[in-house]
Amino acid sequence: MSDREVKNLEEMFDAKIARDEKIEPKDWMPEKYRQTHIRQMSQHAHSEIVGMLPEGNWISRAPSLKRKVALLAKIQDEAGHGLYLYSATETLGISREELYEQLHSGKAKYSSIFNYPTLTWADMGAIGWLVDGAAIINQVPLCSTSFGPYARAMVRVCKEESFHQRQGFQIIMTLAEGSQEQKEMAQDALNRWWWPSLMMLGPLDAESIHTEQSMKWKLKRKSNDDLRQQFIDQTVPQAEMIGLTIPDPDLKWNEEKQSYDFGEMNWDEFWQVVKGHGPCNKERISARVNAWENGKWVRDAAMAYAEKQENKVVKQAI
Amino acid sequence: MKNWPLWEVFIRSKNGLEHRHCGSLHASDATMALENARDVYTRRMEGVSIWVVPSTEITASNPDDNAEFFEPASDKIYRHPTFYELPDELKHM
Ligand SMILES: [Fe+2]
Ligand SMILES: [Fe+2]
């Protein structure tokens, strides 16, 4: 194809997206569109999968059977989200094994918030309330993104997220209404998860490189700063309602802009964690690598069994 | 050893509706594909029936050929009721 032809195709492609038409896997697409989607969708899938680990830490120590079944169901949903997203990513022509390989080798990233440890039961509340809360804010606009399989996966994901956030909030609310010690536990969890949750919504707009292209492709519909403001404005009253304090001395209602002003985030810490120096980066990746490698004999055995059954059928047919 | 093949999953959400494609998954054989499909796609009773099909068994039309492939329908406007101009007094037609 000549450069001129490619440029024509690209213009038609952009126009199609601007008209709110979806792009499906077999449609022509610019190579950059394909690569950007593989990167973002797989990063999203990896986040769902690695995101199970901090919460998995508390399944066996949930304070009641009711809490335990809810947490299990929540984590199982996250596994489902990872699987929807992996299979949507595979439609772009990359295999599941390659995707895993990128995660395991550190080539692919996942949301850095999952590199923080879950120290107390209150963290299960804080994660559902804040981390899933921030995730919802990120994900709702993606339900109308331009790539069909991604948009459809996000619709499914968003339907399931609301339960995650509600079960988390109920955990933290119950603790906040409890004994002094329980209340302190809730406050401590909020203190530790607040800032990472804000930074989870992405770098400041001023420092964000991909935004314009992503907006055009509807991979992003609102800027990181707007999403963050939305998150803060909706979360602060929730904390007030249960008598917890947001750990930000600069947080203040701004009457004029009808939203909260807030303090500076520690981006040095954020980038340290992204680069692999968070408290649990090594532990998270090694958990995934071990699961994959130690499960190899199971995958092989299942495949060997399937092939044997198939051979039997073929023999009978002859 | 070979990797688990890919399966396409179709779900009937309730009787009276058709099976609809909802995604894909990996499984070593059809039985496992059905069980995985149940766990991945119907955790909240989203289905009463599941089909799984090896992805390699699906033959798809090529969107690059859409113009020729689907074109024949677009100039046959006489297939649409609005092609037939009839008097306004005519009711129920
Ligand atoms: Fe999720
Ligand atoms: Fe979630």
ipTM of the assembly? 0.89
Of all residues in chain A, the percent with pLDDT exceeding 70 is 100
Give A 102-161 residues with CB within 8 A of chain B.
152-153, 156, 160
pLDDT at A196 over 80: yes
Residues with CB under 5 A from ligand 1 (ion): A 48, 78, 81
Quick one: average pLDDT of A122-142?
97
Q: Residue A17 C-alpha to ligand 1 middle, in angstroms?
A: 26
Quick one: average pLDDT of A296-316?
92
pLDDT at A138 over 80: yes
Q: State the DSSP code for A266.
A: -
The mean pLDDT of chain A is 95
Q: Which residue has the higher pLDDT, A221 or B35?
A: B35
Main-chain phi, psi angles of A68, to 5 degrees: -70, -45
Distance, in Å, from the CA atom of A111 to the CA atom of A52, rounded to the nearest integer, reads 12
How sure is the predictor about B2, in pLDDT bands with cuts at 50, 70 and 90? confident
Distance, in Å, from the CA atom of A42 to the CA atom of A102, rounded to the nearest integer, reads 9
Q: How far is A63 from chain B (nearest CA, A)?
A: 24
Distance, in Å, from the CA atom of A161 to the CA atom of A124, rounded to the nearest integer, reads 15
Q: Residue A164 C-alpha to ligand 2 middle, in angstroms?
A: 5
Q: Which residue does chain A place closest to B38, by CA atoms?
A: A80
Kindly state the helix (H) or strand (E) to which residue A295 belongs, with its residue range.
Answer: none
Instruction: Using alpha carbons, select from A42, A39, A34 the residue that is nearest to residue A13.
Output: A34
Query: What pLDDT is attached to residue A318?
Result: 73
B23 with A88: Cβ contact below 8 A: yes
Contacts of A263 (CB under 8 A, 6+ apart): A248, A249, A250, A251
Query: What pLDDT is attached to residue A211?
Result: 75
Which domains, from first to last, does chain B contain? Answer: 6-79 (3.10.20.520)
Quick one: average pLDDT of A212-217?
88
How sure is the predictor about A213, in pLDDT bands with cuts at 50, 70 and 90? confident
Point out the residue among A26, A88, A302 whose CB comes nearest to the CB of B28. A302
Point out the residue among B28, B43, B44 whose CB comes nearest to the CB of A306. B28
Q: How many C-beta neighbours within 10 Å does residue A237 have? A: 9
CB of A162 within 8 Å of a chain B CB? The answer is no
Q: List, for residues A17-39, the tens digit of each pLDDT value.
A: 999 999 999 999 999 999 999 99
Burial class (CB within 10 angstroms; exposed 0-12, middle 13-18, buried 19+) of A268: exposed
How sure is the predictor about B70, in pLDDT bands with cuts at 50, 70 and 90? confident
Residue with tokens 């994900």: A139
